[in-house]
Amino acid sequence: MKTQTIIRLQNVHFSYNAIPVLEDISLSIRQTDFLGIIGPNGGGKTTLLKLILGLLEPTQGEIRVFGQSPRKMRHLIGYMPQLFVFDFSFPISVMEVALMGRLSRNKLGRRFSKSDHQIAYEALKKVGMESLRDRDIGELSGGQRQRVFIARALAMQPRVLLLDEPVASVDPQWQKQFFELLHQLNNELAIVLVTHDVSVLASQIDQLACVNRKLFYHGSTREGIHKISELYHCPMEIAVHEVPHRLLGDHHHD
């Protein structure tokens, strides 16, 4: 059954101070997608997320989110940035952090309603953190904090979730649990995840976009995993438990 396209980029270009960052990106994301975006540092991955969020405007081309401009539909996008600036010594509870996701739905200065609290609680429940709702977030482990920040994004009641390098600094055991959680959430909303970890793509994500200023590939991970070699300009070997992939060839040094 054909599913709805919720995000569409057509011939999108973006430059910082006249320096090209993205060139001629055409990409569509469906409501059921779990899309992994991979590319080298400086390849434009985070910029792509910010364009979808409407935090940046393309210098050329068009972006539509649910048929409208990204700025108009930003309230339907949950976002977890790579660098989350947060003072963990500040005395704020897990529930209060989750409630921050309701700020976009409330007028500035308005008190959180009973409905806001219920929505935040349900978001914590989805990530398995409702029992710690009264705990200070500074007392939690790194993996637990990530769950809370996802709950914060889910409290917006989004239809798509954007994650920028969400497992870059957590242990492998938590990564496994984290992706189990994401697959559960993918039953309800689209997920777009930026990562530099090739093994994550091979074992966890079914849709792949290879970005290095230009879009090298967009499609199924199984069919496109070899494109990573082209993307990085270097043959690679990928070894993943139970899902082996090899990209082999002569490796020429400059």
Chain position carrying tokens 């569509």: 28
Coil, strand or helix: which one is 145?
Answer: helix
For the whole model, what pTM was predicted?
A: 0.82
Token pair recorded at residue 113: 């309603």
The number of C-alpha atoms within 13 Å of 167 and in the hemisphere containing its C-beta is 23
pLDDT band at 39 (very low <50, low <70, confident <90, very high): confident
Residues 157, 78 contacting (CB under 8 angstroms): no
Distances (CA, A) of 94 to 102, 233, 237: 14, 44, 41
Token pair recorded at residue 56: 């940046």
Residues 55, 3 contacting (CB under 8 angstroms): no
Q: Convert the pLDDT of each residue in 61-117 to its tens digit.
A: 999 999 999 999 998 999 988 755 566 677 899 999 999 999 866 555 578 899 999
The average pLDDT across 196-217 equals: 80
pLDDT band at 29 (very low <50, low <70, confident <90, very high): very high
User: Euclidean distance between the first and final Cα of the chain, in Å?
Assistant: 48
Determine the pLDDT at residue 142. Answer: 80
Of 27-31, 71-75, 143-147, the range with the lowest mean pLDDT is 143-147
- Distance in angstroms (rounded) separating the CA atoms of residues 247 and 239: 10
Of 36-40, 62-66, 224-228, the range with the lowest mean pLDDT is 224-228
- Where, residue-wise, is CATH 3.40.50.300 in the chain? 1-66+160-254
pLDDT band at 1 (very low <50, low <70, confident <90, very high): very low
Q: Inform me whether the pLDDT recorded for 236 exceeds 60.
A: no
Is the domain covering 1-66+160-254 a CATH 3.40.50.300 domain?
Answer: yes
pLDDT band at 233 (very low <50, low <70, confident <90, very high): low
Residues 225, 68 contacting (CB under 8 angstroms): no
